[in-house]
Amino acid sequence: MSTFEEDRRAAFRAALNREYRRTAKPVTKTELEAREKARTTATPALHLRPGGAVQREVDAAEHAQNERRIGFLKDRLGRQKGIAQRDFRRAR
């Protein structure tokens, strides 16, 4: 593994840890499923109305925040699933 990849993984882990400390909500699979189901695809603006660019920036920021939360939920739930599987194997 290259140093660049290690740095990138470390930065990703640090961001997830910051997100974990910042959130007080519990991590649930239902929230993950609801957020994934509510994902929208980017659609081009077919009209030229005032505030169109601002609205697009707001939508992009909201989309990025949602994607960050989905990534965080997947990571946390994946870690917990791995821990549960490991503990189950050890219990035998």
Question: What pLDDT sits at residue 58?
Answer: 75
Q: What is the distance between the alpha carbons of residues 30 and 19, in angstroms, rounded to a whole number?
A: 19
Q: Where are the domains of the chain?
A: 3-91
Is pLDDT above 60 for 1? no
Give the mean pLDDT of 8-28: 73
Q: Report the pLDDT averaged over residues 64-78.
A: 88
Mean residue pLDDT of the chain comes to 77
CA distance between the termini of the chain: 34
- Of how many residues is the chain composed? 92
Q: List CB contacts of 80: < 8 A, sequence separation 6 or more.
A: 27
At 88 the pLDDT is 82
The answer for residues whose C-beta is within 8 angstroms of residue 72's C-beta and 6 or more apart is: 16, 19, 20, 23, 27
What 3-state DSSP class applies to 35?
helix
pTM greater than 0.95 (yes/no)? no
